[in-house]
Amino acid sequence: TVDGRCKVREAVVSTQSTGYSINALIFSWRLGVVVQGQITREEFTNGLMALGCDSVDKLKSRVSQLDNDIRHPTKFKDFYQYTFTFAKDTGAKNLGIEDALRTWKIVLAGRFSHLEDWCTFIAQHDRRSITRDTWNLLLDFASTINSDLSNYDEEGAWPILIDEFVGWLRPRINTSTS
């Protein structure tokens, strides 16, 4: 019904009023939104069906549980990789630095011990965009590499930007521990 749709839109807007938040991202991911800021009718209807929401109340309660959706590592990986597509300009291949940093700060919060260092490093680097490959592999890095970088393998086929990050980070870690 027209009513229902308006209400749903409100609910969506209110959840998205927190702006660029993790919930907004997860929601978009579940809906399969392709273009940031725009939801197609199909995405909307199919998405809500997939979430099992046929009423505004159900939607509201569902939204508050979005965390669960990304609990499992495989699910999170899928979600994380999705955010790259979501955050970048539709026509572009790569993601601009500003958008990348903004997105990382939300999705990797609490999951990457060196997130702050990484953001500092990226901000002062002369690269102006992030490739999909680097984006994806950052998650691998965050999840598998120790805080002290002890298990980082220079010959481990990491993207060059991450190699450079490790090179930049190592002396900083060593000075702070010694």
Is 27 or 141 the residue whose CB approaches another protein more closely? 141
Q: Strands 95-96 and 129-130: what pairing?
A: antiparallel
CB 91 → another protein: shortest distance, Å?
15
- Tell me which of 52, 157, 175, 178 binds another protein, using CB under 8 A: 157
The number of residues that bind another protein (CB under 8 A) is 15
- Return the structure tokens found at 48: 């809500």
Compare residues 27 and 80 and give the one whose CB is closer to another protein: 80
Query: Which residue stretches of the chain are H helix?
Result: 2-16, 22-31, 41-51, 56-64, 66-69, 73-87, 97-107, 115-124, 132-144, 160-177
Question: Is 159 a binder of another protein (CB under 8 A)?
Answer: yes
Pick one of 106, 119, 137, 166: the residue that binds another protein (CB under 8 A).
Answer: 137
Please say which residue, 3 or 153, places its beta carbon nearer to another protein.
Answer: 153
**Only segment of 17-25, 31-39, 98-106, 125-133 that touches another protein (CB under 8 A):** 125-133
Buried b (16+ CB within 10 A) or exposed e, 49-87: eebebeebeebeebbeebeebbeeeeebeebbebbbbbb
By CB under 8 A, residue 133 contacts another protein: yes
- Side chain identity at 37, as an amino acid letter? G
Q: Which residues pair with 129 in a beta bridge?
A: 96
Q: Which stretch binds another protein (CB under 8 A): 11-19, 20-28, 133-141, 168-176?
A: 133-141
Report the interface residues with another protein, using CB under 8 A.
Answer: 93-94, 131-134, 137, 140, 155-160, 163
